[in-house]
Amino acid sequence: MAEISESAVRSVLEAVIDPVSAKSVVASGMVSGIATRAGHVAVTLEVDPARGPSLEPLRLACEQAVRAIPGVLSATAVMTAERSAPPPPPMPSARPARGGHAHGPAQAAPGGGRIEVSGVKHIIAIASGKGGVGKSTTAVNLALGLAANGVATGLLDADIYGPSMPRMLAVKEKPESVDGKQLKPIERYGLRTMSIGYIVNEETPMIWRGPMVSSALEQMLRDVQWGELDVLVVDMPPGTGDAQLTLAQRVALSGAVIISTPQDIALVDARKGLNMFRKVAVPVLGIVENMSYFLCPKCGERSEIFGHGGAHEEADKLGVPFLGEIPLHLDIRTTSDSGHPIVVAQPDSSHARAYRNIAGRVWKQLTANQRGPRPAPRIVTR
Ligand code: ADP
Protein backbone atom coordinates (compact mmCIF):
# COMPACT_ATOMS: atom_id res chain seq x y z
CA MET A 1 0.00 0.00 0.00
CA ALA A 2 1.33 3.41 -0.89
CA GLU A 3 2.20 5.63 2.05
CA ILE A 4 -0.22 8.51 2.61
CA SER A 5 1.48 11.64 1.31
CA GLU A 6 1.78 14.80 3.31
CA SER A 7 0.31 16.74 0.40
CA ALA A 8 -2.79 14.51 0.37
CA VAL A 9 -3.29 15.32 4.04
CA ARG A 10 -2.69 18.99 3.46
CA SER A 11 -5.17 19.09 0.62
CA VAL A 12 -8.05 17.62 2.65
CA LEU A 13 -7.23 20.04 5.46
CA GLU A 14 -7.66 22.86 2.98
CA ALA A 15 -11.37 22.13 3.15
CA VAL A 16 -11.51 22.45 6.95
CA ILE A 17 -12.51 26.02 7.69
CA ASP A 18 -11.82 27.80 10.95
CA PRO A 19 -15.07 29.72 11.61
CA VAL A 20 -13.24 32.54 13.38
CA SER A 21 -10.90 33.48 10.55
CA ALA A 22 -13.19 32.04 7.81
CA LYS A 23 -10.04 30.59 6.34
CA SER A 24 -8.94 26.98 6.07
CA VAL A 25 -6.67 25.61 8.79
CA VAL A 26 -3.94 25.43 6.16
CA ALA A 27 -4.41 28.97 4.86
CA SER A 28 -4.49 30.37 8.37
CA GLY A 29 -1.15 28.73 9.11
CA MET A 30 -2.51 26.53 11.88
CA VAL A 31 -1.09 23.29 10.53
CA SER A 32 2.41 23.17 11.94
CA GLY A 33 3.23 19.53 11.35
CA ILE A 34 2.07 16.45 9.46
CA ALA A 35 3.51 13.01 10.07
CA THR A 36 2.41 9.85 8.31
CA ARG A 37 3.51 6.33 9.10
CA ALA A 38 2.09 3.14 7.70
CA GLY A 39 -1.40 4.57 7.35
CA HIS A 40 -1.33 6.43 10.68
CA VAL A 41 -1.48 10.19 10.37
CA ALA A 42 -0.72 12.79 13.02
CA VAL A 43 -1.40 16.47 12.49
CA THR A 44 -0.23 19.23 14.79
CA LEU A 45 -2.31 22.38 14.94
CA GLU A 46 -0.75 25.47 16.35
CA VAL A 47 -3.47 27.43 18.10
CA ASP A 48 -4.02 30.50 20.16
CA PRO A 49 -4.28 29.15 23.70
CA ALA A 50 -6.87 31.84 24.49
CA ARG A 51 -9.36 30.04 22.27
CA GLY A 52 -9.02 26.96 24.46
CA PRO A 53 -11.70 24.27 24.33
CA SER A 54 -13.77 26.16 21.75
CA LEU A 55 -11.35 24.73 19.18
CA GLU A 56 -12.28 21.14 19.90
CA PRO A 57 -14.84 20.88 17.04
CA LEU A 58 -12.20 22.16 14.62
CA ARG A 59 -9.70 19.61 15.86
CA LEU A 60 -12.29 16.85 15.41
CA ALA A 61 -13.13 18.13 11.92
CA CYS A 62 -9.46 17.86 10.98
CA GLU A 63 -9.31 14.28 12.24
CA GLN A 64 -12.46 13.38 10.33
CA ALA A 65 -11.20 14.92 7.12
CA VAL A 66 -7.92 13.02 7.32
CA ARG A 67 -9.62 9.78 8.31
CA ALA A 68 -11.67 9.96 5.11
CA ILE A 69 -8.57 9.69 2.92
CA PRO A 70 -8.53 6.19 1.43
CA GLY A 71 -5.84 4.09 3.11
CA VAL A 72 -5.73 6.08 6.36
CA LEU A 73 -6.01 3.76 9.35
CA SER A 74 -5.98 6.35 12.09
CA ALA A 75 -5.83 10.10 12.34
CA THR A 76 -4.86 12.19 15.33
CA ALA A 77 -4.89 15.96 15.48
CA VAL A 78 -3.08 17.51 18.41
CA MET A 79 -3.31 21.16 19.40
CA THR A 80 -0.20 22.95 20.56
CA ALA A 81 0.34 26.48 21.69
CA GLU A 82 3.86 26.64 20.36
CA ARG A 83 4.91 26.79 16.76
CA SER A 84 7.83 24.45 17.15
CA ALA A 85 9.78 22.80 19.87
CA PRO A 86 13.35 24.02 19.61
CA PRO A 87 15.57 21.34 18.11
CA PRO A 88 17.94 19.81 20.65
CA PRO A 89 21.44 21.24 20.50
CA PRO A 90 23.90 18.77 18.97
CA MET A 91 26.50 16.96 21.03
CA PRO A 92 29.92 18.55 20.81
CA SER A 93 31.03 15.82 18.41
CA ALA A 94 27.82 15.75 16.40
CA ARG A 95 28.27 16.02 12.68
CA PRO A 96 25.69 17.94 10.70
CA ALA A 97 23.06 15.77 9.05
CA ARG A 98 24.18 14.67 5.64
CA GLY A 99 22.81 16.42 2.60
CA GLY A 100 19.67 15.11 1.04
CA HIS A 101 17.87 14.61 4.34
CA ALA A 102 14.77 16.74 4.14
CA HIS A 103 14.17 15.78 7.75
CA GLY A 104 17.45 16.84 9.32
CA PRO A 105 17.51 18.09 12.87
CA ALA A 106 17.41 21.65 11.68
CA GLN A 107 13.91 21.10 10.31
CA ALA A 108 12.59 19.62 13.51
CA ALA A 109 9.01 20.58 14.18
CA PRO A 110 6.24 18.94 16.15
CA GLY A 111 4.79 16.14 14.07
CA GLY A 112 7.34 16.79 11.32
CA GLY A 113 11.09 16.54 11.08
CA ARG A 114 11.11 12.97 12.30
CA ILE A 115 14.21 10.86 11.98
CA GLU A 116 13.76 8.18 9.38
CA VAL A 117 16.27 5.60 8.26
CA SER A 118 16.22 4.90 4.56
CA GLY A 119 15.93 1.21 3.76
CA VAL A 120 14.32 0.45 7.12
CA LYS A 121 10.62 -0.31 6.79
CA HIS A 122 9.62 -0.15 10.44
CA ILE A 123 11.27 1.25 13.53
CA ILE A 124 9.71 -0.01 16.75
CA ALA A 125 10.49 1.08 20.31
CA ILE A 126 10.71 -1.31 23.22
CA ALA A 127 9.92 0.72 26.29
CA SER A 128 9.20 0.36 29.99
CA GLY A 129 7.99 2.76 32.62
CA LYS A 130 10.98 1.96 34.83
CA GLY A 131 14.23 0.03 34.86
CA GLY A 132 14.75 -3.59 35.80
CA VAL A 133 11.58 -5.06 34.32
CA GLY A 134 13.46 -6.97 31.62
CA LYS A 135 13.07 -4.47 28.79
CA SER A 136 16.48 -5.17 27.25
CA THR A 137 16.15 -8.93 27.66
CA THR A 138 12.79 -8.77 25.91
CA ALA A 139 14.10 -6.45 23.18
CA VAL A 140 16.93 -8.83 22.30
CA ASN A 141 14.81 -11.97 22.34
CA LEU A 142 11.99 -10.26 20.47
CA ALA A 143 14.45 -9.14 17.78
CA LEU A 144 15.82 -12.69 17.57
CA GLY A 145 12.25 -13.99 17.42
CA LEU A 146 11.54 -11.71 14.47
CA ALA A 147 14.71 -12.90 12.74
CA ALA A 148 13.74 -16.52 13.43
CA ASN A 149 10.43 -15.81 11.71
CA GLY A 150 12.36 -14.69 8.60
CA VAL A 151 12.08 -10.95 9.18
CA ALA A 152 15.23 -8.91 8.36
CA THR A 153 15.87 -7.33 11.74
CA GLY A 154 18.22 -4.82 13.32
CA LEU A 155 18.64 -3.99 16.99
CA LEU A 156 19.64 -0.60 18.30
CA ASP A 157 20.51 -0.30 21.96
CA ALA A 158 19.32 3.22 22.71
CA ASP A 159 19.58 2.59 26.43
CA ILE A 160 22.62 4.79 26.59
CA TYR A 161 22.47 5.02 30.38
CA GLY A 162 23.05 1.30 30.72
CA PRO A 163 23.84 -0.32 27.38
CA SER A 164 23.38 -4.07 27.70
CA MET A 165 23.94 -5.36 24.17
CA PRO A 166 27.71 -5.89 24.57
CA ARG A 167 26.97 -8.33 27.40
CA MET A 168 23.80 -9.90 26.04
CA LEU A 169 25.27 -10.48 22.59
CA ALA A 170 28.87 -11.10 23.72
CA VAL A 171 30.22 -8.32 21.54
CA LYS A 172 33.82 -7.44 22.29
CA GLU A 173 34.88 -5.91 18.99
CA LYS A 174 34.48 -2.27 18.02
CA PRO A 175 32.35 -1.37 15.01
CA GLU A 176 34.35 -0.56 11.88
CA SER A 177 33.91 2.51 9.83
CA VAL A 178 33.57 1.90 6.12
CA ASP A 179 34.19 5.30 4.67
CA GLY A 180 35.24 7.33 7.67
CA LYS A 181 31.65 8.52 7.98
CA GLN A 182 29.36 5.61 8.67
CA LEU A 183 29.78 2.69 11.04
CA LYS A 184 29.07 -0.88 10.09
CA PRO A 185 26.59 -2.55 12.44
CA ILE A 186 27.89 -5.62 14.25
CA GLU A 187 26.18 -8.81 13.07
CA ARG A 188 25.13 -11.28 15.74
CA TYR A 189 22.86 -14.29 15.37
CA GLY A 190 21.45 -12.86 12.15
CA LEU A 191 20.77 -9.41 13.63
CA ARG A 192 22.45 -6.15 12.66
CA THR A 193 23.16 -4.45 15.96
CA MET A 194 24.56 -1.22 17.34
CA SER A 195 25.07 0.02 20.88
CA ILE A 196 26.82 2.94 22.46
CA GLY A 197 28.42 0.23 24.59
CA TYR A 198 30.32 -1.00 21.48
CA ILE A 199 31.92 2.39 21.13
CA VAL A 200 32.57 3.50 24.70
CA ASN A 201 33.75 1.31 27.51
CA GLU A 202 30.83 -0.28 29.37
CA GLU A 203 32.42 0.59 32.69
CA THR A 204 32.81 4.27 31.85
CA PRO A 205 30.06 6.12 33.64
CA MET A 206 28.23 8.33 31.24
CA ILE A 207 26.28 11.34 32.22
CA TRP A 208 23.82 12.38 29.59
CA ARG A 209 21.49 15.28 29.50
CA GLY A 210 18.22 14.97 27.57
CA PRO A 211 19.32 16.73 24.39
CA MET A 212 22.49 14.66 24.26
CA VAL A 213 20.48 11.46 24.52
CA SER A 214 18.47 12.35 21.49
CA SER A 215 21.51 13.52 19.58
CA ALA A 216 23.44 10.31 20.35
CA LEU A 217 20.50 8.23 19.24
CA GLU A 218 20.15 10.28 16.11
CA GLN A 219 23.73 9.53 15.21
CA MET A 220 23.26 5.83 15.84
CA LEU A 221 20.25 5.88 13.53
CA ARG A 222 21.71 7.98 10.76
CA ASP A 223 25.40 7.19 10.85
CA VAL A 224 25.13 3.41 10.89
CA GLN A 225 24.83 1.44 7.67
CA TRP A 226 21.67 -0.40 8.60
CA GLY A 227 20.99 -1.35 4.99
CA GLU A 228 17.65 -2.90 4.03
CA LEU A 229 15.69 -4.02 7.10
CA ASP A 230 12.08 -4.98 7.69
CA VAL A 231 12.25 -3.94 11.34
CA LEU A 232 14.69 -2.01 13.48
CA VAL A 233 14.04 -2.77 17.14
CA VAL A 234 15.06 0.12 19.40
CA ASP A 235 15.71 -0.70 23.05
CA MET A 236 14.73 2.60 24.67
CA PRO A 237 16.19 4.04 27.86
CA PRO A 238 13.89 3.00 30.74
CA GLY A 239 11.31 5.43 32.04
CA THR A 240 9.11 8.17 30.69
CA GLY A 241 11.12 11.31 31.24
CA ASP A 242 11.92 14.09 28.81
CA ALA A 243 14.66 12.11 27.07
CA GLN A 244 12.27 9.26 26.29
CA LEU A 245 9.53 11.62 25.19
CA THR A 246 11.93 13.38 22.85
CA LEU A 247 12.98 10.07 21.32
CA ALA A 248 9.38 8.99 20.88
CA GLN A 249 8.67 12.31 19.23
CA ARG A 250 11.73 12.54 17.02
CA VAL A 251 12.04 9.03 15.63
CA ALA A 252 9.60 7.94 12.93
CA LEU A 253 8.29 5.00 14.96
CA SER A 254 5.81 2.54 13.47
CA GLY A 255 4.87 1.53 16.98
CA ALA A 256 5.91 0.79 20.53
CA VAL A 257 5.91 -2.31 22.71
CA ILE A 258 5.63 -1.78 26.47
CA ILE A 259 7.26 -4.22 28.85
CA SER A 260 5.83 -4.55 32.33
CA THR A 261 5.93 -6.95 35.23
CA PRO A 262 2.59 -7.95 36.79
CA GLN A 263 3.03 -5.90 39.98
CA ASP A 264 0.64 -3.00 40.44
CA ILE A 265 3.45 -0.55 40.83
CA ALA A 266 5.04 -1.58 37.53
CA LEU A 267 1.67 -1.37 35.84
CA VAL A 268 1.30 2.22 36.94
CA ASP A 269 4.62 2.93 35.24
CA ALA A 270 3.56 0.98 32.15
CA ARG A 271 0.49 3.19 31.91
CA LYS A 272 2.74 6.24 31.92
CA GLY A 273 4.68 4.73 29.02
CA LEU A 274 1.50 4.11 27.14
CA ASN A 275 0.32 7.67 27.66
CA MET A 276 3.65 9.00 26.51
CA PHE A 277 3.37 7.23 23.16
CA ARG A 278 -0.27 8.18 22.78
CA LYS A 279 0.62 11.80 23.38
CA VAL A 280 2.98 11.77 20.42
CA ALA A 281 0.60 9.67 18.28
CA VAL A 282 2.81 6.57 18.14
CA PRO A 283 0.64 3.44 17.98
CA VAL A 284 1.15 1.12 20.94
CA LEU A 285 1.48 -2.36 19.46
CA GLY A 286 0.86 -3.94 22.84
CA ILE A 287 2.08 -4.91 26.28
CA VAL A 288 4.31 -7.85 27.23
CA GLU A 289 4.14 -9.22 30.75
CA ASN A 290 7.65 -10.19 31.79
CA MET A 291 8.49 -12.21 34.91
CA SER A 292 4.85 -13.16 34.67
CA TYR A 293 5.20 -16.15 36.99
CA PHE A 294 8.11 -18.03 38.51
CA LEU A 295 9.06 -21.33 36.91
CA CYS A 296 11.29 -23.38 39.19
CA PRO A 297 14.27 -24.52 37.12
CA LYS A 298 14.58 -27.67 39.27
CA CYS A 299 11.04 -29.00 39.53
CA GLY A 300 9.21 -26.95 36.90
CA GLU A 301 6.65 -25.83 39.47
CA ARG A 302 4.90 -22.60 38.64
CA SER A 303 4.46 -19.92 41.34
CA GLU A 304 2.62 -16.71 40.74
CA ILE A 305 4.80 -14.59 42.96
CA PHE A 306 3.64 -11.22 41.74
CA GLY A 307 0.04 -12.10 41.02
CA HIS A 308 0.26 -13.14 37.39
CA GLY A 309 -1.96 -11.67 34.66
CA GLY A 310 -2.00 -8.02 35.77
CA ALA A 311 -0.58 -6.74 32.50
CA HIS A 312 -3.15 -8.68 30.48
CA GLU A 313 -5.98 -7.14 32.46
CA GLU A 314 -4.41 -3.73 32.21
CA ALA A 315 -4.01 -4.07 28.43
CA ASP A 316 -7.68 -5.01 28.10
CA LYS A 317 -8.68 -2.08 30.26
CA LEU A 318 -6.59 0.32 28.24
CA GLY A 319 -7.70 -1.08 24.91
CA VAL A 320 -4.26 -2.16 23.70
CA PRO A 321 -3.30 -5.65 22.54
CA PHE A 322 -1.74 -8.05 25.01
CA LEU A 323 1.23 -9.59 23.24
CA GLY A 324 2.12 -12.40 25.61
CA GLU A 325 3.79 -13.39 28.85
CA ILE A 326 7.29 -14.54 29.70
CA PRO A 327 7.97 -16.40 32.95
CA LEU A 328 10.71 -15.56 35.42
CA HIS A 329 13.15 -18.35 34.70
CA LEU A 330 16.80 -18.80 35.50
CA ASP A 331 17.65 -19.91 31.95
CA ILE A 332 16.42 -16.60 30.56
CA ARG A 333 18.86 -14.74 32.79
CA THR A 334 21.85 -17.04 32.41
CA THR A 335 21.59 -17.22 28.63
CA SER A 336 21.40 -13.42 28.39
CA ASP A 337 24.30 -12.98 30.77
CA SER A 338 26.46 -15.37 28.81
CA GLY A 339 25.84 -13.60 25.52
CA HIS A 340 23.61 -16.28 23.98
CA PRO A 341 20.01 -15.17 24.48
CA ILE A 342 17.53 -17.98 24.95
CA VAL A 343 15.91 -17.70 21.51
CA VAL A 344 19.23 -18.77 19.95
CA ALA A 345 20.67 -20.78 22.86
CA GLN A 346 17.60 -22.99 23.39
CA PRO A 347 15.43 -22.51 20.32
CA ASP A 348 13.24 -25.50 21.18
CA SER A 349 12.43 -24.30 24.71
CA SER A 350 8.99 -23.03 25.62
CA HIS A 351 10.56 -19.64 26.44
CA ALA A 352 12.02 -19.28 22.95
CA ARG A 353 8.64 -20.22 21.54
CA ALA A 354 6.96 -17.58 23.68
CA TYR A 355 9.32 -14.88 22.37
CA ARG A 356 8.80 -16.03 18.76
CA ASN A 357 5.04 -15.88 19.26
CA ILE A 358 5.27 -12.36 20.63
CA ALA A 359 7.46 -11.43 17.66
CA GLY A 360 4.87 -12.95 15.33
CA ARG A 361 2.12 -10.83 16.89
CA VAL A 362 4.20 -7.68 16.59
CA TRP A 363 4.99 -8.41 12.95
CA LYS A 364 1.36 -9.15 12.19
CA GLN A 365 0.34 -5.80 13.57
CA LEU A 366 3.02 -3.96 11.65
CA THR A 367 2.03 -5.56 8.38
CA ALA A 368 -1.72 -5.50 9.01
CA ASN A 369 -1.42 -1.73 8.91
CA GLN A 370 -0.29 -1.99 5.34
CA ARG A 371 -2.65 -4.61 4.04
CA GLY A 372 -5.12 -3.41 1.43
CA PRO A 373 -7.38 -0.43 1.62
CA ARG A 374 -9.24 0.04 4.86
CA PRO A 375 -13.04 -0.22 4.86
CA ALA A 376 -14.93 2.70 3.37
CA PRO A 377 -14.96 5.62 5.80
CA ARG A 378 -18.09 6.21 7.79
CA ILE A 379 -19.97 9.29 6.73
CA VAL A 380 -20.47 11.45 9.75
CA THR A 381 -23.18 14.04 9.82
CA ARG A 382 -23.60 16.44 12.63
P1 ADP B 1 15.79 -3.58 31.95
O2 ADP B 1 16.27 -3.46 30.56
O3 ADP B 1 14.29 -3.41 32.09
O4 ADP B 1 16.53 -2.77 32.95
P5 ADP B 1 17.02 -6.22 31.87
O6 ADP B 1 16.53 -6.78 30.60
O7 ADP B 1 18.43 -5.71 31.93
O8 ADP B 1 16.03 -5.11 32.41
O9 ADP B 1 16.78 -7.31 32.99
C10 ADP B 1 17.16 -7.13 34.34
C11 ADP B 1 17.67 -8.45 34.88
O12 ADP B 1 16.60 -9.39 34.91
C13 ADP B 1 18.75 -9.11 34.01
O14 ADP B 1 19.70 -9.73 34.84
C15 ADP B 1 18.00 -10.14 33.19
O16 ADP B 1 18.82 -11.24 32.83
C17 ADP B 1 16.92 -10.55 34.15
N18 ADP B 1 15.69 -10.97 33.48
C19 ADP B 1 14.93 -10.27 32.59
N20 ADP B 1 13.84 -10.97 32.22
C21 ADP B 1 13.91 -12.17 32.86
C22 ADP B 1 13.10 -13.34 32.90
N23 ADP B 1 11.96 -13.41 32.20
N24 ADP B 1 13.51 -14.37 33.67
C25 ADP B 1 14.66 -14.30 34.41
N26 ADP B 1 15.45 -13.24 34.43
C27 ADP B 1 15.09 -12.17 33.68
Taking only the tens place, the pLDDT of each residue in 174-232 is 888 878 778 899 999 999 999 988 877 655 555 555 566 667 788 888 889 999 999 99
CA of 353 to the centre of ligand 1 (A): 18
pLDDT band at 1 (very low <50, low <70, confident <90, very high): low
Q: Are residues 73 and 163 in the same domain?
A: no
Show the ligand 1 pocket: residues with CB < 6 angstroms.
128, 131-137, 164, 238, 290-291, 326, 328-329, 332-333, 336-337
For residue 373, tell me if it sits in a domain. Answer: no
Confidence (pLDDT) at 112: 43
CA of 311 to the centre of ligand 1 (A): 17
Range of the domain at 244: 120-367
**Cα separation values, 367 from 138, 187, 204, 285, Å:** 21, 25, 40, 12
pLDDT band at 110 (very low <50, low <70, confident <90, very high): very low
Q: Work out the average pLDDT over 59-79.
A: 87
Contact 139, 194 (CB under 8 A): no
Q: Work out the average pLDDT over 350-363.
A: 96
For residue range 27-63, list pLDDT tens digits in order.
998 888 888 777 888 888 888 777 777 888 898 899 8
Confidence (pLDDT) at 376: 41
Q: Per mean pLDDT, which range of 104-108, 139-143, 348-352 is the poorest?
A: 104-108
Q: Are residues 49 and 165 in the same domain?
A: no
Q: Work out the average pLDDT over 239-252.
A: 83
Q: Residue type for 98, please? A: R
Confidence (pLDDT) at 86: 35
- Whether the pLDDT of residue 85 is over 80: the answer is no
Q: Are residues 166 and 281 in the same domain?
A: yes
Give the contacts of 319 (CB within 8 A, at least 6 positions apart): none
Residue nearest to atom 16 of ligand 1 (CA): 333
Residue nearest to atom 13 of ligand 1 (CA): 333
Which residues are paired to 74 by β-bridges?
40
Q: Are residues 214 and 142 in the same domain?
A: yes
Q: What angle do CA 367, 356, 197 make, to 5 degrees?
A: 95
Tally the residues of the chain.
382
Residue from 130, 136, 137, 334 whose mutation best tests the ligand 1 pocket (most atoms within 8 A of CB): 137
CATH number for 48: 3.30.300.130
Range ranked top by mean pLDDT from 106-110, 220-224, 238-242: 220-224
Q: Are residues 39 and 187 in the same domain?
A: no
For residue range 124-146, list pLDDT tens digits in order.
999 999 888 999 999 999 999 99
Contact 85, 246 (CB under 8 A): no
Q: Are residues 137 and 222 in the same domain?
A: yes
Q: Are residues 176 and 254 in the same domain?
A: yes
Structural domain tally of the chain?
Answer: 2
Of 63, 80, 97, which residue sits at a domain end?
80
Question: Measured from the CA of 291, which atom of ligand 1 is nearest?
Answer: 23
Q: Are residues 168 and 277 in the same domain?
A: yes
Q: Are residues 47 and 152 in the same domain?
A: no
Q: What is d(CA 129, CA 241) in angstroms, rounded to the nearest whole number? A: 9
Residue 266: phi, psi to the nearest 5?
-70, -30
Residue with more model confidence, 255 or 32:
255
Confidence (pLDDT) at 79: 73
Q: What is d(CA 138, CA 343) in angstroms, rounded to the nearest whole number? A: 10
